[in-house]
Amino acid sequence: MKIEFSLKNIVLAAIVSIITVFIIFFLFNLKLIDQKITKIEEQYVEKIIGNNIDTIANLFYFEFDDSLQTLLNSIKENVEEVEQIRIVKELPHAKNAKDGMLVYPLQYQGKTVGYLQVKYRLVFKDVFWKRYQTAGIFIIVAFFFFLAFILYYLYSKISSIDVLAARVQNIDLSHIRKIGAPDSFKEIHTITKSINTMLTAIKENFQKIYIQEKHLQEAQKIAHLSSWEYDLQTGEFSCSDELYRTLGVDASVAMQWEDFLSYFEEKERNRFLAMLERVQKSGISAENVYLFQIYGKTKYLKIIIKYRKTKQEEKFIGIALDVTEEVEAKKKVEFLAYHDPLTALPNRYALQMRLKELAKNQQKRFGVVFIDIDDFKFINDSYGHTFGDEFLMQLAKALVALNITSDIFRIGGDEFVLIVENFESKKELSAYAEQILEKIATEYEVEGVKFFVTCSIGICIYPDDSEKVEDLLTNADLAMYEAKKEGKNRYRFFDEKMKERFERYNTIAHYLQESLQKRDEILLYFQPKLNFETLKVESAEVLVRWNHPELGFVFPDTFIPVAERSDLIIELDHYILKRSFESLEQWQQDPLLSKLYLSVNISGREFYDPHFIDYLKELLQTHPIDPSKIEIEITETVSMEDAEFTKKTLKEIKSLGFRIALDDFGTGYSSLNYLKQIPFDTLKIDKSFVQDIDKDEDDLKIVTLIINIAKSFSKETVAEGVETKRHEEILRDLACNMAQGYLYSKAVDKEQFRIFVNQQNSSSA
């Protein structure tokens, strides 16, 4: 039989035990009272007998029978308890000794002479019990009734509570209904009412919690946020539904800790476990993004972990956030940040990272091969950017196909860099460079157009040429630049001299910039141009000179190429143009010079600058001079870089009223058809042809041809570099119009120029 430890049973058992204990206690007390009374009465009897026993013994020994009888009677009469008192000779038999009988030996001088036998009855005890019997029974019965009532009362209350407890126990929190009171006790009703109020509150809260839980689930779903807990003591793992969804695993099978771990990509799992260990040790929460690999699918989860340890539990609590999209977007952005979108090759930024990475491993040698396409600008300008892009893609493919290295970067428009590791000697690198030159120098076809390109290559070796990563690319670039300068379609290894040249170049650029801010360091020199017939000065070419406090007197061959590699050339050309306008303005007031016109050299950079025409217009507005007194000199080569643009620009210059000269004529490859289309006034025969005109048949033929062409287009010719009388004679015979050269004057400052004009124009009148 199963004993139920219900409240009812416990209370019942307690009450029964109390009653039992009480009865035992009651009976025990009665017994004690009885014993006490007995003892008192017996002691009283014994005391009386004890006090008289010697007297009785003497009287008996000396046979004073009357006195003895009187004494015994008096004891019997005075002591109520004594029923019979007599003297016997022999000790009564043990079996005759009874309760309520006392026997005393009577002694005289140490000898027992007889026995006193006293029969007694406990009078007081009898009376006492007789008197209290009825009351006692009554009290006991009354007490039992009282107990029974209490028991009943308690029982009824307890059974109500018991019923209530059973009902409360059976409340289904998911379907909360009010409970009925089990009986009419007021307290039970109050309790029931409170429980019902509580149930209503619980119901409401349940609904709220349910709604909130729904919201939370929705929110988790929307935010791709899931939560999980791992109990370190029990090994139990629990997680929100969203984790199943996020990981894309079956939600009907409860996920275990081992399952969860198995979804991590292998290396990531170790990283995750290491993080758990750290968090457990430090107690500080941590977060990280981990890669998961579930059934071939890739997921990125950001996991935030907290460690909780109390007396009762030890847990990891985690939040997992699906960041797959973000990570992939970031990867894409990173790819774009590190790659050139056109060719998908890693870009300049990626190259810098790679170089740094390689340089960390200091023993390893590697070569940086810098490739630049020759005259790529020409392709781009002639056929457009889409065309150029298509060509670059073909080029990238060709470089990859060479299979020299997988480290290929596109770091600028037409600039590619290869990093070559594991090479034995410079020779091997040379072989690679030749392979590249050969591969690139081939015929390409884009949009049906066939063309041919070449490239120039610069090579720099780490750590031989530089241990500094920052310098590797610059050095390779310098070597490449050198290869271009030496005629393109070739490769050059970097050497220190290139660097010295480069540093010198930088110094010049820096100084030039400073000097351009001052008026007295960049000087205009004038070289006279004379009419062959009259030998009178009709014009002058403005040639720039630079008087620098540290570098000294510098000629343009030194600094013009430097200026041309930066925007300084634009600034310089503007400066010279402006100062030339100012000079002409001053010459208007000087009768000796007022008829002269000035030729000003314009660099290719300035010519192709979109603001060039605007600048000319601006000068015309600020300086009131006749524009036909300024001749713009551009070299034949520059003019040919973009024929269409040149045509358009020269027409605009012409329409503003300026003269135009094609400088260094004969060194370019203009066709007659081209010359026919562009407006110009003068052809300047390059001094390289003039120099040997008296010795070299070919040069003579070329010069003759140039003069005839100019004549046929009704243009003027200027011969540069006339150094000897012989030069003068030949050129005059060929009917060249103007002469310029050391035979007459070098370029000189304006004072000397005025002196020369004065001398020349008055003497040969």
**Closest distance of CB 603 from ligand C2E, Å:** 4
Q: Are 720 and 686 in contact (CB under 8 A)?
A: yes
- Residue 586 φ then ψ, to 5°: -65, -40
Residue 751 near ligand C2E by CB under 6 A: no
Task: Name which of Ca ion, ligand C2E, none residue 62 binds, using a CB cut-off of 5 to 8 Å depending on partner kind.
Answer: none
Nearest CA to 576 out of 543, 550, 551 is that of: 543
**Closest distance of CB 705 from Ca ion, Å:** 18
Cβ-based nearer residue to ligand C2E, 301 or 662: 662
Cβ-based nearer residue to ligand C2E, 408 or 542: 542
DSSP secondary structure string, 348-394? HHHHHHHHHHHHHSTT--EEEEEEEETTHHHHHHHH-HHHHHHHHHH
**Helices 376-383 and 385-401 meet at what angle, rounded to 10?**
140
Which range binds ligand C2E by CB under 6 A, 104-112, 113-121, 556-564, 710-718?
556-564
For 333, counting Cβ atoms within 10 Å of its Cβ (0-12 exposed, 13-18 middle, 19+ buried), the class is exposed
Residue 568 near ligand C2E by CB under 6 A: no
Cβ-based nearer residue to ligand C2E, 465 or 720: 720
Kindly list the distances between the CA atom of residue 446 and the CA atoms of 384, 389, 443, in Å, as whole numbers in the listed order.
11, 10, 10
Residue 420 near ligand C2E by CB under 6 A: no
Which range binds ligand C2E by CB under 6 A, 21-29, 35-43, 665-673, 738-746?
738-746
Helix/strand/coil (H/E/C) assignment for every residue in 644-658: HHHHHHHHHHHHCCC
Residue 723 near ligand C2E by CB under 6 A: yes
Nearest CA to 762 out of 536, 542, 577 is that of: 536
Residue 664 near ligand C2E by CB under 6 A: yes
d(CA 325, CA 466): 43
User: Which of 456, 466, 527, 717 is close enough to bind ligand C2E by CB under 6 A?
Assistant: 527
Which range binds ligand C2E by CB under 6 A, 71-79, 302-310, 704-712, 737-745?
737-745
User: Which of 118, 181, 512, 576 is close enough to bind ligand C2E by CB under 6 A?
Assistant: 576
Cβ-based nearer residue to ligand C2E, 407 or 664: 664
How many CB atoms are located within 10 Å of the residue 260 CB?
A: 21
User: Which pair of structure tokens corresponds to residue 172?
Assistant: 């289904």
Task: Name which of Ca ion, ligand C2E, none residue 745 binds, using a CB cut-off of 5 to 8 Å depending on partner kind.
Answer: none
Cβ-based nearer residue to ligand C2E, 300 or 597: 597
Residue 631 near ligand C2E by CB under 6 A: no
Pairing assessment for the beta strands 455-462 and 491-493 based on DSSP bridges: parallel
**Closest distance of CB 600 from Ca ion, Å:** 9
Residue 583 near ligand C2E by CB under 6 A: no
Task: Name which of ligand C2E, Ca ion, none residue 747 binds, using a CB cut-off of 5 to 8 Å depending on partner kind.
Answer: ligand C2E
Task: Name which of Ca ion, ligand C2E, none residue 369 binds, using a CB cut-off of 5 to 8 Å depending on partner kind.
Answer: none
Residue 553 near ligand C2E by CB under 6 A: no
Q: Which residue is nearest to ligand C2E (CB)?
A: 741
How many CB atoms are located within 10 Å of the residue 146 CB?
A: 10
User: Which of 413, 463, 556, 668 is close enough to bind ligand C2E by CB under 6 A?
Assistant: 556
How many CB atoms are located within 10 Å of the residue 701 CB?
A: 12
**Closest distance of CB 496 from Ca ion, Å:** 34
> 531: helix, coil or strand?
strand
Cβ-based nearer residue to ligand C2E, 390 or 723: 723
d(CA 391, CA 28): 123
Cβ-based nearer residue to Ca ion, 49 or 719: 719
Q: What's the maximum distance between 2 C-alpha atoms anywhere in the chain? A: 216
Amino acid at 428: E
Q: Which positions lie near Ca ion, rule CB under 5 A? A: 601, 633, 663-664, 720
**Count of residues engaged in binding ligand C2E, rule: CB under 6 A:** 24
Cβ-based nearer residue to ligand C2E, 366 or 597: 597
**Closest distance of CB 629 from ligand C2E, Å:** 17
Half-sphere exposure for 318 (CA within 13 Å, toward CB): 27
Cβ-based nearer residue to ligand C2E, 473 or 576: 576
Task: Name which of Ca ion, ligand C2E, none residue 527 binds, using a CB cut-off of 5 to 8 Å depending on partner kind.
Answer: ligand C2E
- Residue 328 φ then ψ, to 5°: -65, -40
Which range binds ligand C2E by CB under 6 A, 48-56, 339-347, 542-550, 700-708?
542-550
User: Which pair of structure tokens corresponds to residue 641?
Assistant: 């870089």
Chain centroid to CA 325: 15
Kindly list the distances between the CA atom of residue 297 and the CA atoms of 134, 162, 300, in Å, as whole numbers in the listed order.
98, 59, 10
Whose tokens are 């310089």? That residue is 572
636 membership: H or E segment, kind and range: helix 636-641
User: Which of 81, 573, 609, 642 is close enough to bind ligand C2E by CB under 6 A?
Assistant: 573
Residue 555 near ligand C2E by CB under 6 A: yes
At CA 559, angle to CA 573 and CA 747, rounded to 5?
Answer: 70
Cβ-based nearer residue to Ca ion, 324 or 601: 601
DSSP secondary structure string, 652-683? HHHHTT-EEEEEEETSS---HHHHHHS--SEE
Residue 557 near ligand C2E by CB under 6 A: yes
Cβ-based nearer residue to ligand C2E, 346 or 666: 666
Residue 742 near ligand C2E by CB under 6 A: yes
> 246: helix, coil or strand?
helix
Amino acid at 475: N
Which regions of 385-521 does DSSP assign to beta strands (E)? 408-412, 415-421, 443-446, 449-452, 455-462, 491-493
User: Which of 161, 301, 480, 543 is close enough to bind ligand C2E by CB under 6 A?
Assistant: 543
- Residue 627 φ then ψ, to 5°: -60, -20
Cβ-based nearer residue to ligand C2E, 240 or 580: 580
**Closest distance of CB 612 from Ca ion, Å:** 17
d(CA 609, CA 602): 11
User: Which of 721, 734, 739, 756 is close enough to bind ligand C2E by CB under 6 A?
Assistant: 721
**Closest distance of CB 632 from Ca ion, Å:** 10
Kindly list the distances between the CA atom of residue 370 and the CA atoms of 351, 472, 593, in Å, as whole numbers in the listed order.
12, 10, 53
User: Which of 488, 651, 687, 732 is close enough to bind ligand C2E by CB under 6 A?
Assistant: 687
Task: Name which of ligand C2E, Ca ion, none residue 482 binds, using a CB cut-off of 5 to 8 Å depending on partner kind.
Answer: none
Pairing assessment for the beta strands 682-685 and 314-322 based on DSSP bridges: unpaired
Cβ-based nearer residue to ligand C2E, 415 or 606: 606
Nearest CA to 101 out of 91, 114, 111, 113 is that of: 91
d(CA 700, CA 703): 5
Residue 539 near ligand C2E by CB under 6 A: no
Contact code string over 591-630 relative to ligand C2E, x by CB under 6 A: ----------xxx---------------------------
Residue 747 near ligand C2E by CB under 6 A: yes
d(CA 724, CA 730): 10
**Closest distance of CB 555 from ligand C2E, Å:** 5
Q: What is the DSSP-derived secondary structure letter of residue 255?
A: P
Which parts of this chain interact with ligand C2E (CB under 6 A)? 527, 542-544, 555-557, 560, 573, 576, 601-603, 663-664, 687, 720-723, 740-742, 747
